[in-house]
Amino acid sequence: MGDGPLAGLRVIDAATLAAGPLIATWLGEHGADVIKVEQPDGGDPLRQWGSQKDGVGLMWKSVGRNKKSVTLNLRHQRGRDLLHELCGQADVIVLNLRPSTLRKWELDYPNLAAGNPGLVMVHVTGFGAGGPKSDHPGFGTLGEAMSGFAHLTGSPDGPPTLPSFMLADGVAGLTATYAVIMALYHRDVHGADGQLIDINLIEPLARLLEQSVLTYDQLGTIPGRMGNRWDISAPRNVYLTKDGHWLAMSGSAPTIAKRALQAVGRPELTTDPRFAEAQQRLKNAGEIDAIMAGWIRERTLEEAMTIFEEADVAAAPVYDAEQLVGDPQLLARNVFPRILDAELGSLRVQAPVPRFSATPGRIDHLGPALGEHNDEIYGGLLGLDAERRHELREQGVI
């Protein structure tokens, strides 16, 4: 990409699956030149992960947007040497190898930064550097379990519930992305060297669940599963409508909670001591919940939403994918543009988030074919001639 707030920044994405590659994806949407380094024998497992169409991984197409793909066998010494050369001309590298593997292959931060002191390295692991689990394999599922998320999710009488999407990876990736920007600011504004960013799949998600730790530390109680209710807000739940749809509501702000009670024809409850004050309202959340459920059950989704919107109540329909892409608000903002693709013809993906007024994010292309940019990067950037590139291919290095 030639423009954007991160134009001129070169990022090496040498990680696999979700958290690490997502960091590079978000940087690439805003102008960074991203080189995706993949093993020659199959590439990033993300290519085979999840839904496929004609053998093409749909999630890969989105996460691989704006990236240049090169193949590089890091199990081969010459492959590791080439990665060192790439790092010598990069600003950021993202890796998710185990700490012991990094040291064994001399791809740890001191070794990579020796040839480029300004390099910022993001190391994504399951459990983080240091500690007894440092070298254990870890995936998002473990982060969602150990962070406390699964413990709080699900019905009170049901099992802990894991998300059916890459929650821990996504939260870790977002956290690491802003960490990269801070590290680059420190380097470029304060005249410092680059540095190592240590990120794992537990701590970023646990930070969002900190309420449980605060409650345990100060009150000695352990919050449990409450279904779709939440013990800091009432009303707060999903409710079934007359025509079989689901509607979500949040009364987190006292003014919104009072409007909701007025909207369902119970204005007298807004001055009732049991419901007018936030803490008392929480103690009587079950009664409020029953009132809302009964009122919504007697109305269609359209009828209920019309009344709530007119009353300025925080309510929304629970969407599936079809409803999401068809929502008038999201259509007006072009949240899901259709991007042309050589393999799929076109694919509707989500546009970059957030939105900038002067330097908007872009999607130049979707995930490329494995090794599609070998000649451009190894020939152009590193200056390896055609004969040398052929030799490296014959040796299984690229």
Reference 289, options 250, 247, 235; nearest CA is 235
Per-residue exposure over 322-348, b if at least 16 CB sit within 10 Å of its own CB, e if not: eeeeeeeebeeeebbeebebeeeeebe
Query: What is the Cα–Cα distance from 393 to 398, expressed in whole angstroms?
Result: 5
Establish whether 169 is a catalytic residue: yes
Backbone angles phi, psi at 145, to 5 degrees: -75, -50
Task: Give the separation between CA 230 and CA 232, rounded to whole angstroms.
Answer: 6
Q: Please tell me which residue in 108, 169, 198, 289 is annotated as part of the active site.
A: 169
Nearest to 316 by CA among 265, 246, 252, 259: 246
Per the rule left: phi > 0, alpha: psi between -120 and 50, beta: everything else, 267 is alpha
Residue 38, CA distances (Å) to 48, 49, 73 in order: 13, 15, 8
Q: Two tokens at 394?
A: 């014959």
Tell how strand 246-250 and strand 315-317 pair up.
antiparallel
Q: Give the catalytic positions in this structure.
A: 169
